[in-house]
């Protein structure tokens, strides 16, 4: 069993590092009132977990019956083959119709189902940034018709991908990257419970895992389990280095050479081709800056951009503003 599932929080009190968001969600659960929500933030920060805790707090034993989760990324990347294979949709799937038409069928089917012993049910769209514009337009119309009995929740790493007609109807809640101290404490707790002794993963090894996780608690737990099962914990920073770090390095090289457009294209590639959020792109860039550069203007520009992204501004615009703003640092 994956440790990410074994140690997944079941209640709000077990969620780590997201106190402001948990406070909002807890108050909604207590009052039994809930607006439509957009939960934004990097991977592994607890968005889907928080939805599960919210559903349990709202509905108790009937939470699964009153919660419909649509894995948007799987649906739109795999197409109709996903619908053919997933038993949740086989009774709705129309083989002779397009993916968009089938998506509309799914929406109407679940939205039309009456909530059980409650005023409203939840429809959850995971990785909502994968929704096409046409799909979002169809979804907007269904939101208008069923808002009395449905609450729509979107989880996404890229809130700017959600059309204004939907985002304007939702309360945005931001899940920040998990703090290093929080991740380290959680890993030490798991290590103790699993008997993954310090001879396999020393405290220094845990520090490496925390650095490699980059605020992603899920990734940190997966790395710890992999180290425990393999019986060694060797140079995790090297083992987990990725193409995204290389692209981030090329981005700064482009800026150093005065190629702002090239730098922007590279950052957009990280978001479009690799699925990173704007904050995750900034983390990759910040890591390179801390290692290879020592200029206060870069640190200030990174902090300013992160602040603007936190307040749900368009990620692509902010990346362009960041690149344009720091080009003078290298001249």
Task: Reduce the secondary structure of 203-266 to three states and give it as a string.
Answer: HHHHHHHHHHHCCCHHHHHHHHHHHHHHCCCCCHHHHCCCHHHHHHHHHHHHHHCCCHHHHHHH
pLDDT of residue 204: 84
Name the percent of the chain in helix, strand, coil, to the closest 5.
60, 10, 30
The CATH class given to the 243-330 domain equals mainly alpha
Stated pTM of the model: 0.75
The residue that leads in pLDDT, 236 or 293, is 293
pLDDT of residue 70: 93
Write out pLDDT tens, residues 183-199: 999 999 999 888 765 55
Distance CA 23, CA 181 (A): 21
At residue 18 the predicted structure's pLDDT band, cuts being 50, 70 and 90, is: very high
**Three-class secondary structure of residue 133 per DSSP:** helix
Q: Which residues contact residue 321 at a Cβ distance below 8 angstroms, ignoring those fewer than 6 apart?
A: 305, 308
Burial 109-118 (b: 16+ CB within 10 A, else e): ebbeeebeeb
What single DSSP character describes residue 118?
S
Crossing angle of helices 315-326 and 260-272, rounded to 10°: 150
pLDDT of residue 321: 86
The CATH class given to the 3-174 domain equals alpha beta
Distance CA 120, CA 329 (A): 53
Crossing angle of helices 47-59 and 19-31, rounded to 10°: 20
Write out pLDDT tens, residues 201-217: 788 888 888 888 888 89
Write out pLDDT tens, residues 94-143: 889 999 999 999 899 888 888 999 999 999 999 999 899 999 999 999 99
The mean pLDDT value for 35-40 works out to: 96
**Summary mean pLDDT of the chain:** 86
């Amino acid at each position: 069993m994956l440790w990410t599932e074994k140690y997944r929080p079941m209640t709000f009190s077990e969620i780590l590092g997201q106190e402001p968001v948990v406070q909002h969600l807890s108050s909604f659960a207590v009052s039994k009132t809930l607006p439509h929500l957009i939960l934004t933030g990097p991977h592994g920060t607890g968005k889907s977990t928080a939805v599960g805790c919210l559903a349990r707090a709202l509905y108790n034993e009937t939470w699964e019956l009153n919660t419909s989760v649509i894995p948007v990324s799987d649906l739109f990347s795999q197409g109709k083959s996903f619908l053919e294979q997933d038993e949740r949709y086989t009774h709705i799937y129309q083989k002779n119709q397009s993916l968009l038409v089938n998506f509309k069928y799914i929406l109407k089917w679940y939205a039309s189902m009456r909530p059980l012993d409650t005023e409203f049910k939840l429809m959850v769209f995971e990785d909502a940034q994968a929704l096409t514009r046409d799909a979002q337009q169809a979804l907007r119309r269904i939101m208008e018709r069923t808002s009395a009995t449905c609450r729509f929740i979107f989880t996404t790493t890229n809130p700017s991908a959600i059309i204004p007609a939907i985002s304007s109807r939702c309360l945005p809640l931001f899940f920040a990257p998990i703090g290093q101290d929080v991740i380290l404490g959680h890993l030490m707790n798991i290590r103790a419970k699993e008997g993954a002794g310090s001879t396999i993963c020393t405290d220094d090894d845990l520090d490496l895992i925390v650095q490699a996780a980059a605020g992603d608690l899920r990734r940190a737990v997966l790395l710890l389990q992999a180290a425990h099962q393999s019986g060694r914990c060797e140079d995790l920073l090297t083992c987990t280095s990725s193409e995204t770090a290389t692209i981030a390095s090329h981005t700064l090289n482009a800026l150093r050479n005065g190629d702002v457009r090239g730098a922007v294209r590279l950052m957009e590639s990280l978001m479009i081709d690799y699925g990173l959020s704007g904050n995750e792109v900034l983390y990759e860039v910040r890591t390179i800056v801390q290692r290879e550069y020592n200029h206060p203007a870069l640190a200030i520009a990174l902090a300013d951009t992160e602040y603007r992204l936190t307040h749900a501004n368009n990620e692509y615009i902010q990346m362009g503003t960041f690149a344009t703003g720091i080009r003078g640092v290298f001249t």
